[in-house]
């Protein structure tokens, strides 16, 4: 790796982060009535980011690091370092494209929303924060983007004033990820103080010289943050609720930002994890649970966005599973294809919701007739999610499953997940697009500027896998190991068609349906294990603070006052007692003086 500062690539990185950030900050100051300017700023930010990322890809330079000193605390130097390699550029390009699609789509989707201006600006800042994570060459700078992204997701999820759930979901998203970030921060602190530098290249180079325990602790601490951001069990609970945000925001969060950040950071800091077998095992177990949990919860959800949200949780499990066996490229490959088809699916779901006026699958049906474009693009998206060849998801999922061959238990979970994914995707497809059109609903494709992102995203959702294979043949091996996943996907589809063609089997589950869709009651567990105890502690702390800590102070005050009036009464006493008092006082003073003298103060 060349470590020379490179003016061009550093300048491009600064521009890539700075332009959306600056335009976003300017956008925050635009008066709310001024929609055109807000939209122009938002689109310009994303478009320029895409352009810069494309230029960086075209230059195709080797890994380059540029460093600028930021601030030094004692001997610890914090730098404004950027690190650019092909993976970072591809990630940045993905972020930019999804952000651009979301910005364009939002203009129509949020028509009539008074708070569109700050919304568009916050998306720009969100994009800039993710790009900071992607390009950062310093752990502290990475943390800046990491947390800023959490704050932006908080603001955007809370955007919708019509939903009473939105502020609650937003707080939950921020707090659950923040709990993970306690670990993330401590992990960074541990690595930084042990290595003596926060620069990622220094840290990765220094991992080898650290003892095993330190590396394991650091990796596990970092994993806590990663689990929070990338919605891994047990910190996944915020993601399904986060769909209370506007649908384009779900697309952004689920595809290219937030959840992608965790996967990317594990890939970026991979040597730290690789040096600790224990951390890799934990990652694998976490991934296995997450991918099955997400897939199973997705089968029962009636809310179309919730189905997609659980499927994101599940697909993130696949990416983490690949990382846990060291298949970094497979994980990133799946991240890219997933970004394309999941953004597409969310934006398509937005078009359906726009028409129906409800998120619920039970209110949808027969939509293929009036909405051919939405139908075709979402079919591509769902096919990619299932892994139907030759759509993008097929290639990346095969790549992940093949890599899992060495860990049979994880491989089995992944295979089971494929069948379940196929089943719930088929259910969604049939319940939304086939059957009877509900009364009062008139299906129609969305207006032009909402169509454009659907078409744009459908292209990579269909062709990205093939394209990547054309460039790098080693990502997928064609052989007998492909048969089982494909057969399981086929089985899932077949079962789905059989069970969901006429009616929704989930309704027959009764009360178990909502319980499964809510994630097997883990929210309740989290509430009673963490939230309520903290609340109780808070109430106790407040009570003690008022009654005991402040009580002592007030008590001292009252005692002083009582002593004062007592002394006043005493002073009115007869002479002998007064004399005795004076003598006693003198003795106390003398004793104090002698004591002080003895201990050597005076």
Chain residues in the site for another protein (CB under 8 A): 28, 32, 70-76, 115, 118, 140, 143-144, 146-148, 151, 154-155, 158, 161, 164, 166-168, 170-171, 174-175, 178-179, 181-182, 185-186, 189-190, 192-193, 534-535, 537-539, 541-542, 545, 549-550, 553, 557, 599-601
Distance CA 297, CA 284 (A): 20
* Minimum CB–partner distance for residue 139 and another protein (Å): 11
* Minimum CB–partner distance for residue 446 and another protein (Å): 28
CA-wise closest residue to 188 among 141, 121, 242 = 141
Give every CB contact of residue 369 below 8 A, 6+ residues apart in sequence: 437, 443
Stretch (H or E) spanning 84: strand 82-84
* Minimum CB–partner distance for residue 548 and another protein (Å): 9
Cβ proximity to another protein: between 28 and 437 the closer is 28
* Minimum CB–partner distance for residue 164 and another protein (Å): 7
* Minimum CB–partner distance for residue 395 and another protein (Å): 37
Cβ proximity to another protein: between 151 and 459 the closer is 151
* Minimum CB–partner distance for residue 309 and another protein (Å): 21
- Per DSSP, the three-state class of 79 is strand
* Minimum CB–partner distance for residue 440 and another protein (Å): 28
Cβ proximity to another protein: between 147 and 302 the closer is 147
Q: Quote the Cα angle for 54-56-60, to 5°.
A: 115
Query: Residue 82: beta bridge partners?
Result: 66, 136
> With DSSP H G I counted as helix, E B as strand and the rest as coil, what are the percentages for the chain, rounded to 5?
80, 5, 20
CA-wise closest residue to 387 among 414, 416, 422, 413 = 422
Cβ proximity to another protein: between 477 and 542 the closer is 542
Cβ proximity to another protein: between 74 and 448 the closer is 74
At residue 437, φ and ψ (nearest 5 deg) are: -75, 130
Cβ proximity to another protein: between 147 and 398 the closer is 147
Rounded alpha-carbon distances, angstroms, from residue 283 to 181, 296, 325: 16, 20, 9
* Minimum CB–partner distance for residue 592 and another protein (Å): 12
In this structure, are residues 232 and 259 in contact, taking their beta carbons and an 8 Å threshold? no
Cβ proximity to another protein: between 28 and 220 the closer is 28
At residue 67, φ and ψ (nearest 5 deg) are: -125, 140
* Minimum CB–partner distance for residue 451 and another protein (Å): 32
Cβ proximity to another protein: between 185 and 207 the closer is 185
Distance CA 140, CA 192 (A): 9
The pair of three-digit structure tokens given for residue 281, joined into one six-digit string: 């095992």
* Minimum CB–partner distance for residue 195 and another protein (Å): 12
Q: How many residues does the chain have?
A: 602
Rounded alpha-carbon distances, angstroms, from residue 208 to 205, 327, 508: 7, 20, 56
First to last CA, the chain: 67
Is the Cα dihedral 19, 21, 26, 32 positive or negative? positive
Is the Cα dihedral 198, 264, 310, 487 positive or negative? negative
Cβ proximity to another protein: between 185 and 283 the closer is 185
- The angle that helices 328-356 and 448-471 make with each other, rounded to 10 degrees, is 160
Cβ proximity to another protein: between 75 and 211 the closer is 75
Stretch (H or E) spanning 224: helix 212-229
Report cis status (omega within 30 of 0) of the bond before 234: yes
Rounded alpha-carbon distances, angstroms, from residue 550 to 49, 557, 559: 55, 11, 14
Cβ proximity to another protein: between 148 and 322 the closer is 148
Q: Is 255 left (phi over 0), alpha (psi -120 to 50) or beta?
A: alpha
* Minimum CB–partner distance for residue 601 and another protein (Å): 5
Cβ proximity to another protein: between 32 and 86 the closer is 32
Cβ proximity to another protein: between 154 and 310 the closer is 154
* Minimum CB–partner distance for residue 180 and another protein (Å): 9
* Minimum CB–partner distance for residue 413 and another protein (Å): 31
């Amino acid at each position: 790796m060349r470590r020379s500062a490179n003016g061009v690539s550093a300048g491009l990185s600064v521009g890539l982060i700075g332009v959306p950030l600056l335009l976003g900050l300017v956008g925050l100051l635009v008066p709310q009535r001024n929609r055109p300017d807000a939209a122009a700023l938002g689109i310009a930010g994303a478009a320029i980011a895409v352009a810069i990322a494309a230029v960086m890809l075209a230059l195709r330079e080797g890994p380059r690091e540029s460093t600028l000193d930021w601030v030094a605390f004692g001997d610890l130097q914090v730098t404004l370092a950027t690190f650019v390699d092909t993976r970072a550029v591809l990630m940045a390009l993905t972020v930019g494209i999804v952000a651009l699609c979301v910005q364009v789509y939002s203009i129509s989707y949020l028509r009539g929303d008074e708070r569109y201006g700050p919304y568009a600006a916050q998306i720009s800042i969100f994009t800039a924060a993710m790009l900071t994570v992607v390009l950062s060459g310093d752990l502290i700078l990475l943390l800046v983007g990491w947390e800023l992204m959490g704050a932006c997701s908080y603001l955007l999820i809370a955007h919708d004033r019509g939903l009473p759930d939105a502020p609650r979901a937003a707080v939950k998203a921020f707090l659950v990820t923040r709990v993970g970030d306690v670990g993330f921060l401590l992990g960074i602190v541990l690595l930084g103080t042990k290595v003596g530098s926060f620069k990622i290249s220094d840290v990765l180079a220094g991992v080898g010289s650290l003892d095993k325990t330190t590396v394991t602790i650091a990796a596990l601490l970092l994993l806590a943050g990663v689990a929070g951001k990338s919605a891994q069990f047990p910190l996944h609970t915020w993601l399904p609720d986060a769909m209370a945000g506007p649908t384009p925001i779900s697309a952004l969060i689920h595809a290219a930002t937030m959840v992608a950040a965790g996967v990317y950071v594990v890939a970026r800091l991979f040597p730290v994890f690789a040096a600790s077998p224990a951390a890799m095992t934990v990652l694998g177990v976490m991934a296995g649970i997450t991918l099955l949990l997400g897939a199973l919860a997705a089968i029962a959800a009636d809310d179309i966005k919730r189905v997609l949200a659980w499927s994101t949780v599940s697909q993130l499990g696949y990416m983490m599973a690949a990382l846990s066996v060291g298949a970094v490229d497979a994980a990133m490959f799946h991240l890219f294809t997933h970004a394309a088809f999941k953004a597409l699916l969310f934006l398509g779901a937005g078009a359906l919701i726009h028409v129906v006026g409800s998120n619920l699958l039970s209110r949808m049906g027969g939509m293929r007739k009036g909405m051919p474009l939405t139908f075709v693009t979402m079919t591509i998206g769902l096919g990619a999610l299932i892994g139907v060849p030759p759509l993008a998801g097929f290639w990346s999922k095969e790549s992940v499953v093949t890599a899992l061959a060495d860990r049979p238990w994880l491989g089995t979970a992944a295979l089971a997940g494929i069948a379940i994914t196929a089943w719930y995707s088929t259910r969604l497809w049939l319940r939304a697009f086939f059957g009877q059109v509900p009364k009062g609903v008139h299906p129609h494709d969305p207006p032009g500027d909402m169509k454009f992102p659907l078409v744009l995203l459908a292209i990579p959702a269909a062709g990205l896998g093939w394209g990547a294979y054309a460039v790098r043949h080693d990502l997928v091996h064609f052989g007998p190991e492909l048969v089982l996943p494909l057969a399981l996907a086929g089985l899932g589809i077949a079962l789905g068609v059989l069970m969901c063609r006429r009616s929704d089997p989930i309704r027959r589950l009764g009360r178990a349906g909502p319980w499964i869709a809510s994630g097997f009651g883990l929210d309740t567990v989290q509430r009673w294990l963490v939230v309520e105890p903290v609340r109780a502690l808070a109430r106790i702390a407040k009570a003690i603070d008022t009654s005991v800590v402040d009580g002592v102070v007030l008590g001292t005050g009252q005692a002083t006052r009582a002593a004062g009036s007592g002394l006043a009464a005493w002073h009115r006493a007869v002479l002998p007692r007064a004399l005795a008092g004076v003598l006693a006082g003198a003795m106390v003073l003398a004793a104090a003086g002698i004591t002080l003298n003895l201990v050597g103060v005076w």
